[in-house]
Amino acid sequence: MNINDPKTFVDDFMQYVKTKDPLQYEFHQAVEEVVESLSDFLLKNPRYLHSKILERMVEPERIIQFRVPWADDQGNIHINRGYRIEMNSAIGPYKGGLRFHPTVNQSILKFLAFEQVLKNSLTSLPMGGGKGGSDFDPKNKSDSEVMRFCQSFMTELARHIGQYTDVPAGDIGVGGREIGYLFGQYKRLRNEFTGVLTGKGVEWGGSLIRPEATGYGTVYFAKEMLETIGESFENKVVAISGSGNVAQFAAEKVIELGGKVVTLSDSSGSIYDPDGIDRKKLDFIMELKNIHRGRIREYADKFGVSYLDKQRPWSIKCDIALPCATENEINGEEAKTLVENGCIAVAEGANMPSTMDAVHHFLNSKILFGPGKAANAGGVAVSGLEMTQNSMRLAWSREEVDNKLHSIMKNIHQMCVKYGTESNGFVNYVKGANIGGFVKVANSMMAQGLV
């Protein structure tokens, strides 16, 4: 590997990663973004190169893959595939969500686990990185089908996790309902009540503010970025994608800060409400999505606004964009449209929602761009606070947790500024987040020997 020239170094390293796992495109994308922004730093700090820290970091410590058999309400048998990627435990137990979605495969989970390692490091809490899930689709399943699936999934997963080993949580398709069924089965198998999962209900060990944390945290991070240019959310037009956990609470916080949320979406299409989604309309969405598990189109029918069938919301003119649905949901063309329409800030609530082309376009346009591993770290940060509360056997108030979340997001922002400020004063938050997250993990790996 050429360690003298940054560009050759990135090409050589990516060749190494691609040769090992040629079809894992999402994983390649996540690694490339990190290596691209770390290359200068690594060449100036060759001890990390000599210890092959990066080569070790892209190799999961362990991958667990298993069969998940379950029966539907008619008695038909289904077989899904379950996974847990235990990526890196240098700074704490593996920590990261479970995703239930038909697209789940090893490449997607490895990209998410790799991002999680750096994200968790940025929170400053003692958490390693992991991710898991299944290609099971909870959509259009009854509660009892979801419960039977979760019980079967946990029957195998239980032997690999634990409060000091690996602490999963939710992600796409895994919310409070699923965490409840998973926790119930773990407790039954192990006969112990511990903080083995986060995102639990507040009556049985969960933390206040955990449901809100990712969305709120994304907005807190965006607020910090805006302040660097003397701006705020007040009277800003905000486009949000998704309408799940992250999108709902990002919208709630934007409304609270005086912004106007004009879009939300799901995998079928987007709604555009030029008058803005107010508190009452957001309550309708929360009930529609969290209780009736309906489609975003029903919002357009109810409030008589436009529905953009099979379209993402990025053609809508906005000041601030918060992608909160899924990976690669903003491509280069859409990034161009956003910038041409006057968008001044993008903060990623989702994991890797911008393609490489989109990231390059945002950075070259010099708008404020907060990458997911920094901007959406509030969710896992409050999961870390849930673990702390579980260990102490007590529960903090809503205000206490929210204040801690706010200050963690401010610290992450400062860390990005510290490592990402370029000679012309521009803050490259991608570079800042990647270097800031890397240093602590890399130093801990060096201290712990060749493991």
Ligand X SMILES: O=C(O)CCC(=O)C(=O)O
Binding-site positions for substrate read 95, 116, 119, 170, 383
Of residues 31 and 375, the one with the C-beta less far from ligand NDP = 375
CA distance 228 to 401: 25
Q: Are 113 and 60 in contact (CB under 8 A)?
A: yes
Task: Candidates 76-84, 95-103, 251-259, 297-305: pick the segment binding ligand X (CB under 6 A).
Answer: 95-103
Do 234 and 220 form a contact (C-beta atoms < 8 A)?
no
Q: Is 143 exposed, middle or buried (0-12, 13-18, 19+ CB in 10 A)?
A: exposed
- Given ligand X, ligand NDP, none, residue 212, with its beta carbon under 5 to 8 Å by kind, binds none
Given 110, 131, 223, 431, which residue is catalytic? 131
Spatial CA neighbour of 334 closest among 274, 273, 270: 270
Contact 116, 98 (CB under 8 A): no
H/E element, 159:
none
Contact status: 390 vs ligand X (CB under 6 A): no
Nearer residue to ligand NDP within complex by CB, 80 or 326: 326
Contact predicate 253/320, CB 8 Å = no
Cα separation, 321 vs 96, in Å, equals 25
Residue 255 to residue 292: CA distance in whole angstroms? 24
Cβ-closest position to ligand X = 97
Residue 255 CA to residue 281 CA, distance in Å, equals: 11
Q: Which is nearer to ligand NDP, 92 or 313 (CB)?
A: 313
Active site (annotated) includes residue 336: no
245-256 helix and 210-227 helix, angle to the nearest 10 degrees: 50
8 Å CB contact between 202 and 429:
no
- Please report, to the nearest 10 degrees, the dihedral formed by the alpha carbons of residues 359, 378, 415, 25 taken in order: -30
Options 91-99, 321-329, 405-413, 436-444: segment touching ligand X (CB under 6 A): 91-99
Q: How far is the CB of 171 from ligand X (least distance, A)?
A: 4
Which of 92, 96, 259, 371 contacts ligand X by CB under 6 A? Answer: 96
Nearer of residues 349 and 437 to ligand NDP, judged by Cβ: 349
* Vertex 434 angle, CA 265 and 96, to 5°: 60
Residue 198 contact partner, candidates ligand NDP, ligand X, none, CB within 5 to 8 A by sort of partner:
ligand X
Side-chain-facing half-sphere of 298: CA atoms under 13 Å: 13
C-beta of 359 vs 380, nearer to ligand X: 380
Distance (Å, whole) CA 116 – CA 129 = 5
- Per the annotation, binding residues are 95, 116, 119, 170, 214, 245, 383
Residue with tokens 């690594």: 42
Q: Between residues 64 and 344, which has the closer beta carbon with respect to ligand X?
A: 64
Out of ligand X, ligand NDP, none, what residue 326 binds, judged by CB under 5 to 8 A for its kind, is ligand NDP
What's the min distance (Å) between Cβ of 233 and ligand X? Answer: 23
Q: Interaction with ligand X in 314-373: which residues (CB under 6 A)?
A: 351
Sites of contact with ligand NDP (CB under 6 A): 170-173, 175, 214, 242-247, 266-268, 324-326, 349-351, 376, 379
Least Å distance between CB 140 and ligand NDP? Answer: 11
**Of ligand X, ligand NDP, none, which one sits near residue 324, judging by CB under 5 to 8 A according to partner kind?**
ligand NDP
**Binder to ligand X among 383, 389, 390, 428 (CB under 6 A)?**
383
State the catalytic residues. 131
Binding footprint of ligand X on the chain (CB under 6 A): 95-97, 116, 119, 169, 171, 198, 351, 379-380, 383
